[in-house]
């Protein structure tokens, strides 16, 4: 009920005059004014805007009106009907071609089942209210992992069918997926119109894999000069193994390694997303890409990393001047010109915390 109708109140003196009061929102009045009329004689009532002096309270958001109507028709059983109409013509018209303005109801009973092949079968039904369109509808099926956004979901377009198969090769092992489907008239059906609303969602979980192999390798070309590839690897494996993206622009070209590789942690699952951008520099439209563990190598120079075997036959001999002489047999290395340095530690019995350290060089 509108504000003018809700606020309308009419009283009479049961002799010759009817007085009505009502109000409208001030912003609405600035756009279109309302006219109060008496339906029996279809006569507009004379209305006067109440001024601030006439009101105890003057809220800025409303315009208040007092209207008067003269009549001598009073009595029991007499009913007056009043209405409002805008002071401007407000109207819109449209000729509707039913077959060119079809929006089906959302598909029903969407379900997912595991097939013996390991693939997943999605099935749904045409809604009861759109059965006459059943053979002319095309469907959009989208699916994603639960934590992903629908904007990045995979989309499939299907015609004249209420089922589809998702290959296990296209799904990530050990992941929870969710799917939905919507319908619209097919392009060659003679009908046209927008998609229906989305169906209720259905979910399923893929079996766990080994978790060792890189997974979900995808590449997208920006239409210009870059091919961006991403893949997922188990977070713990990346502490020991580095993965690289390798590519060939043509089957005959040499394999190249993409660099640098960026990494982003995924929420809720023990995987990280790694990605790399390939600069597209030729007209080839078929790139071969692969992700594999890189071989790490480290240069260690032997002459800078010598750890001599410990001396042998260590002995202590007291001398005549109350000193002690330590002797040992040094380890012989392959080159005589390499000198050896020694550290000697000594301490009183059972007092290892009071170690005395001296250094000496071999002769």
> What pLDDT digit, counting tens, does each position of 236-265 carry?
999 999 999 999 988 888 999 999 999 998
Average pLDDT over residues 300-328: 89
pTM over 0.75: no
CATH number at residue 201: 2.60.40.10
276 and 317 together in one domain: no
Last residue of a domain, one of 251, 275, 293: 293
Last residue of a domain, one of 205, 232, 262: 205
- Its domain, for residue 312, covers 303-361
Average pLDDT over residues 41-63: 74
Residue 150 binned pLDDT confidence (cut-offs 50, 70, 90): very high
Average pLDDT over residues 278-296: 88
15 and 58 together in one domain: yes
Give start and end residues of each alpha helix (H) in the chain.
3-7, 26-31
Q: Is residue 337 part of a domain?
A: yes
Per-residue pLDDT tens over the stretch 56-82: 555 568 999 999 888 777 777 777 888
pLDDT of residue 221: 92
201 and 242 together in one domain: no
Q: Is residue 159 part of a domain?
A: yes
Give the strands of the sheet with 46-49, arranged side by side.
Answer: 9-12, 17-25, 62-70, 46-49
263 and 356 together in one domain: no
pLDDT of residue 122: 97
Please identify which residue in the block is written with the tokens 């009043």.
82
Last residue of a domain, one of 205, 232, 264: 205
pLDDT of residue 55: 54
pLDDT of residue 38: 87
Average pLDDT over residues 20-45: 89
* Cα end-to-end distance, the chain, whole Å: 111
Please identify which residue in the block is written with the tokens 């977070």.
235
Residue-wise DSSP of 316-336: EEE-TTS-EEEEEEPPP-S-T
pLDDT of residue 354: 67
pLDDT of residue 220: 92
Q: Is residue 288 part of a domain?
A: yes
C-alpha 208/C-alpha 234 separation (Å) is 13
With a cut of 90, say whether residue 334 has pLDDT above it.
no
226 and 133 together in one domain: no
- Among 93-107, 123-137, 182-196, the minimum mean pLDDT is found in 123-137
C-alpha 298/C-alpha 56 separation (Å) is 91
pLDDT of residue 74: 77
pLDDT of residue 319: 86
As for how many domains the chain has, the answer is 4
Average pLDDT over residues 135-161: 92
């Amino acid at each position: 009920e509108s504000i003018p109708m809700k606020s309308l109140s009419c009283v009479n003196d049961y002799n010759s005059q009817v007085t009505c009061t009502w109000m409208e929102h001030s912003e609405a009045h600035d756009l279109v004014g309302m006219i109060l009329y008496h339906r029996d004689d279809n006569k507009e009532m004379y209305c006067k805007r109440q001024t601030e002096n006439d009101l105890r309270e003057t809220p800025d958001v409303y315009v208040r009106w007092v209207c008067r109507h003269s009549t001598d028709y009073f009595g029991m059983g007499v009913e007056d009907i009043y209405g409002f109409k805008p002071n401007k013509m407000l109207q819109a018209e449209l000729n509707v071609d039913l077959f060119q303005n079809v929006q089906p109801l959302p598909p029903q009973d969407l379900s997912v089942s595991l097939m013996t092949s390991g693939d997943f079968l999605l099935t749904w039904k045409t809604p009861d209210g759109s059965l006459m369109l059943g053979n002319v509808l095309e469907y959009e099926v989208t699916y994603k992992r639960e934590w992903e956004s629908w904007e990045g979901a995979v989309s499939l377009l299907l015609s004249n069918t209420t089922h589809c198969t998702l290959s296990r090769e296209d799904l990530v092992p050990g992941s929870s997926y969710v799917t939905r489907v919507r319908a619209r008239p097919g392009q060659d059906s003679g009908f046209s119109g927008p998609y229906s609303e989305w169906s209720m969602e259905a979910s399923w979980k893929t079996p766990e894999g080994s978790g060792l192999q890189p997974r979900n390798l995808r590449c997208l070309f920006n239409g210009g000069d870059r091919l961006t590839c991403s893949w997922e690897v188990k977070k713990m494996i990346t502490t020991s193994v580095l993965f690289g993206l390798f590519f060939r622009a043509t089957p005959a070209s040499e394999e190249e390694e993409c660099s640098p590789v960026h990494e982003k942690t995924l929420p809720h699952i023990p995987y990280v997303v790694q990605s790399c951008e390939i600069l597209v520099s030729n007209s080839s439209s078929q790139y071969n890409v692969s992700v594999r563990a890189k071989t790490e190598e480290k240069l260690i120079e032997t002459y800078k990393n010598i750890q001599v075997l410990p001396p042998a036959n260590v002995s202590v001999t007291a001398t005549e001047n109350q000193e002690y002489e330590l002797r040992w047999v040094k380890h012989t290395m392959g080159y005589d010109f390499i000198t050896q340095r020694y550290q000697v530690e000594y301490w009183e019995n059972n007092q290892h915390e009071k170690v005395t350290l001296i250094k000496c060089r071999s002769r």
